[in-house]
Structure 1
Amino acid sequence: MNTNAKFGFLLAAILSVSGCSAINTAVSKRNLEVKTTMSETIWLDPVSASQRTIFLQVRNTTDKQIDIQQELKEKLTQKGYSVVQDPAAAHYWLQANVLKAEKMDPASAQGFLNSGYGGALSGAAIGALAAASATSHSNTIGAAGLIGGAIGLVGNALVEDVYYALITDVRVVEKTDNKVTSTEVAQLSNGNSGALNTSISSVDNKKRFQTRVLSNANQVNLEFEEAKPVLVEDLTTSISGIF
């Protein structure tokens, strides 16, 4: 086998091995997966059909255009609830704020993504070892190692394991015939060495519940606009499931 043929064979082997990580990611994460988790369960007492009225208030404090109100309203209506405009006429208040909508760091969030530099170094090492087994020429060994490293970098650059998340705070208020005492406590920083505690107590006929919902979307090379519809679908399904 001449030198050119040997070198071509080495490059093919390097390409195959160096691209394994990227190929595995592309194949295993080719389908969009969405998971939604609620931090706390909210238990509501069963009510009659006449009391199935909800005042809906939705906010979005992220930097992205996300509208969950219409889809949430449709899901509640399908469950037999009427969404009303007057909070005084509603048996329930449902308040939600989309707090965060952003690309997550796969390494810290799920631990699925290997370092790009790690893949490049592995490619370089494999290239050098493969060349050494076929030729003793130091220039060929160095060139093969560099090409293997470049292949690892390119592969990891083209294939990215992406996670997007929606984090939403949810509050449910339920009217009751009983008197309910609520105490709200706030802590404000007072410089670097102190804090100011403020508490407000009130008595009314409303029970209040709070929870947080996390929806994760994962796919290779995922864009937020692709993830948004399924994230909103899962999020609104989870919130409407409270009722």
Structure 2
Amino acid sequence: MQLNSIAKTIFMVSALSLASIQFTGCQAAHTAITKRNLDVQTKMTETVFLEPSSSENKTIFIDVKNTSDKDIEVRSGVETALKSRGYTIVTDPNKAGYMLQANVLQIGKSNLNEIRSAFNAGFGNGAIQGAAAGAAAGYVMGGGSGKNAAAVGLAGAAAGFIADAMVEDVYYCMVTDLQIRERAQDGETVVQTQNSDIKQGTSTNVSQVVQGTKTNWKTYRTRIVSSANKVNLQFEEAQPVLQTALGKSIAGLF
């Protein structure tokens, strides 16, 4: 009687394991087919509208920073894209009609939830915190000699894990904060008010307000979130397309 119970348990676990392997295999095949082509998307958190400019005023000063942990170069792509739209790059901000300041906050492996969070946070707020770890599930069976059943279950789980490991749905994301300054036109007066909240230790805040400061620039801020997605995507393939997408997105504002 006990042997029959053990045999039934082993049969049930074996059947479930086989079904799991088949299901995992179908999922892996579906991912491999639907994500076989590289998909690149670029989204901007806020739309920026600049005043139309004559050709002689299409001069721009560019300052691109990279505070991520990846060694990337995005400035040349931004310059190329802007030059294609008729802009002249200048090294003196006093001779520029526009100033472009960009900071690449983060670039690396991500997932859809983190990409959405980085986008929804907007300019100046937290970027991606790191790729989320997958969850593991375990099953406990009691009574009789459960060791054989557990061994069968582990074998099925291992086969499913191998199938998943061979086909991975990979996202890479680049988060860039952007500040654009547009020189005020003749007759325009721009007055800037600046509010600062400065932390002193863990319990003290210092607030500063700078009012009535005249400036020659109108300032706009936005965030650009670029993502690349493909099955088994490697960073070396994602990096150049993310950089190109960023350049095109920035140039599209001008």
Q: 1:236 aligns with which of 234, 244, 247?
A: 247
Quickly say closer, same or farther: Cα 1:12–1:192, change in 2 above 3 A.
Answer: closer
Q: Which string of whole-angstrom CA distances, capped at 9 and with x for unpartnered residues, describes residues 32-69 of structure 1?
A: 11111101111111111110111111111111111111
Q: Which runs of 4+ in 1 moved over 4 A?
A: 10-15, 106-110, 113-116, 138-144
Distance 1:97 1:31 in 2: 29
Aligned to 2:177: 169
1:208 aligns with 2:219: yes
Q: Which string of whole-angstrom CA distances, capped at 9 and with x for unpartnered residues, describes residues 155-187 of structure 1?
A: 122222111111101111111132211122221
Q: Compute the displacement of 1:195 (Å).
A: 1.4
Distance 2:246 2:30 in 1: 29
Quickly say closer, same or farther: Cα 1:109–1:20, change in 2 above 3 A.
Answer: farther
Distance 1:183 1:169 in 2: 21
**Superposition pairs of residues 1-243 of structure 1, within 5 angstroms:** 15-106=21-112, 109=115, 115=134, 117=136, 144-176=152-184, 177=186, 178-201=188-211, 202-243=213-254
Q: Compute the displacement of 1:15 (Å).
A: 4.6
Query: Residue 246 of structure 2 aligns to which amino acid in structure 1?
Result: L
Distance 1:102 1:25 in 2: 21
Query: Residue 162 of structure 2 aligns to which amino acid in structure 1?
Result: V
Q: Is the 8 A contact 2:190 2:215 kept in 1?
A: yes
Quickly say closer, same or farther: Cα 1:184–1:139, change in 2 above 3 A.
Answer: closer
> Unaligned stretches of 5+ in structure 2?
1-14, 117-131, 140-145
Q: Is the 8 A contact 1:164 1:218 kept in 2?
A: yes
> Unaligned stretches of 5+ in structure 1?
1-9, 125-137
Quickly say closer, same or farther: Cα 1:236–1:108, change in 2 above 3 A.
Answer: closer
- Give the TM-score normalised by the residue count of structure 2: 0.76
Distance 1:193 1:172 in 2: 34
SS of equivalent to 2:189:
strand
Distance 1:197 1:19 in 2: 58
Distance 1:107 1:151 in 2: 28
Query: Residue 149 of structure 1 aligns to which amino acid in structure 2?
Result: A
SS of equivalent to 1:228:
helix
Query: Residue 249 of structure 2 aligns to which amino acid in structure 1?
Result: S
Question: In percent, how many aligned pairs have the same letter?
Answer: 40
Count of matched residue positions in the alignment of Structure 1 and Structure 2? 220
